[in-house]
Amino acid sequence: MKGKVLWGIIFGLVVINCLTIAYFLKSDQPVVKATKESAEEEVVAQIGDEVITRQEWLAELEKRYGKSTLENMINVKVVDVLADQYQIEISEDAIERELQMFKATYNAFGEEVLQDKKDWREQIRYSILLEELLTKDVVVPEEEIKQFYQNHKDSFKIAPSYHLSHIVINNEEEAKQIVQELKEGSSFQALAAEQSLDEMTASNGGDLGFVPEHSDHIPKEYIEHAKQLKPNQWSDPIQIDQQFAIIYLHEKLDGVQYSFDEVKDQIRRQLALEQMEGNISAKKLWEEIGISWFYGETKE
């Protein structure tokens, strides 16, 4: 398996796991306080003469998601505690580098829309700390790391890329009308969902993900116009064959080739993880720290 694909799978699995944690750890989530009596009596839905109380709702949520959510919250704490214990620290440069590499592979089709950068940075920090903890006792020879870098140098290269969305319309007049609505404050995402003829992206607000400068998967006119845009700007109508498109530039990634010294720790973790069996999970660390929890399990 080629290094770039393998790294994408490994990194993707960890980040997907992190995504399940993010919502519950956001500091701006409201905290709801309620007494037992008020929770039992408060009605959250009414269907004819039947009602659903807050207590019934919360009980159902706990039954469906309680165990996995609590497990994920414990995992975050376990990683933080053990990282402090072993004095493992992750630099901001390492987090930023892996964030850029992940963005460069981000494809909007069928994936979660990129969240706030702060959330992603926290999730990447967690994934790197987890990998460091899981692989801290695995020895990978320096020569093997160097050889991997030489063999997969392109895996650590980011081509100039553009995070684009688009709206595809049948004729120029309709496209001009959409541009006017954008100028008047309408949401590009909402207009794409309502009017774009591209069924694959319309439901996702027209999101195309990050597109490399020399991509063969989108019209070359998109890149030509994207180069003239600043982030958070949209284009004038662009004729593509018999249709017209308006593109929106979310962000641009500059091209970069990361050096061996910049990515050697990342490669070491990748090669070490290949030697491990089972899933990449913080639950492997539970016994080391000692966990007591509501569901009473301390082993996998």
Please state the domain extents for the chain: 3-156+258-289, 160-253
Detail the DSSP E strand segments found in the chain.
43-47, 50-53, 157-158, 161-169, 207-212, 233-234, 238-240, 243-253, 256-257
For residues 270 and 132, the answer to whether their CB atoms sit within 8 Å is: no
pLDDT tens track for 141-180 = 999 999 999 999 999 999 999 999 999 999 999 999 999 9
Q: What is the pLDDT of residue 172?
A: 96
Taking CA atoms, 15 is separated from 88, 121, 278, in Å, by 19, 11, 17
Q: Is the pLDDT of residue 278 over 90?
A: no
pLDDT-wise least confident of 102-106, 193-197, 245-249: 102-106
Q: What is the pLDDT of residue 16?
A: 46
Per the listing, tokens 């093997």 go with 144
Average per-residue pLDDT for the chain: 86
CATH number of the 160-253 domain: 3.10.50.40
The mean per-residue pLDDT over the stretch 127-137 comes to: 96
Full-model pTM: 0.75
Higher pLDDT, 26 or 150: 150
Confidence of residue 227 (pLDDT cuts 50, 70, 90): very high
Q: Is the pLDDT of residue 219 over 80?
A: yes
Residue partners of 83: CB distance under 8 A and separation at least 6: 89, 129, 132, 133
Instruction: Choose among 24, 106, 6: nearest CA to 61.
Output: 24
Length of the chain: 300
Cα separation, 234 vs 165, whole angstroms: 9
Q: What is the pLDDT of residue 39?
A: 52
| H or E element in which residue 220 lies | helix 220-226
Residue % of the chain over a pLDDT of 90:
72
